[in-house]
Amino acid sequence: MKKVIENIVAINVVSWYQKEDTQTKLKSIPLKTQWVLLKNMKKIEPIAENFNKFRNDLNAQRNAAWFTEGNDKCERVTNENNQEVLQVKEEYLEEFYKYDEELNNQIKEIIEEEVEIEYTPINFEDLLNSDDIELNIVDLDMLSVFEEEEEEEETLE
């Protein structure tokens, strides 16, 4: 089955899935559902991994452009933990904030882009009829990404 989701949805589901608490709770669901979920996660994990690598690379580029020794737009200061750090000079703060805001806006656009995923639907009827299920509403919300979508009926005008 195919579905279109935003990159942020894939990122959030992967982040949720990787938590130790989630892994513990998922042991309470039927084995077949665990298997389907594992297969589905293997299909969307690359979306999150690629985005996180891309975002980290952009942050490294920003840091290289602004926070390097010898850059005349920053200065070495002592922070509240008594450690020396590089900080943007006051006269360049507005320029830095503008640069940073533009970068964040571009990242936001990418995070909201839609991507088509292929997945195996999770049988929610089996899942919800399990007696020993330990999932909460957040868990079910994350799993709903893999719920079978009902086809919209075409209406005649």
Q: Within a domain: residue 76?
A: no
The count of structural domains within the chain is 1
Residue 43: which H helix or E strand, with range? helix 31-66
Q: What is the pLDDT of residue 49?
A: 96
- Give CA–CA dist 111/32, Å, rounded: 31
For 43, the domain range is: 2-68+114-146
Q: Within a domain: residue 157?
A: no
pTM, full prediction: 0.82
Q: Among 91, 97, 99, 58, which Cα is nearest to 73's?
A: 91
pLDDT string in tens for the chain (157-residue length): 999 999 999 999 999 999 999 999 999 998 999 999 999 999 999 999 999 999 999 999 999 999 998 899 999 999 999 999 999 999 999 999 999 999 999 999 999 999 999 999 998 887 888 778 899 999 999 999 999 877 655 555 5
Which residues does residue 74 pair with via DSSP β-bridges, in sequence order?
88
Q: Within a domain: residue 94?
A: no
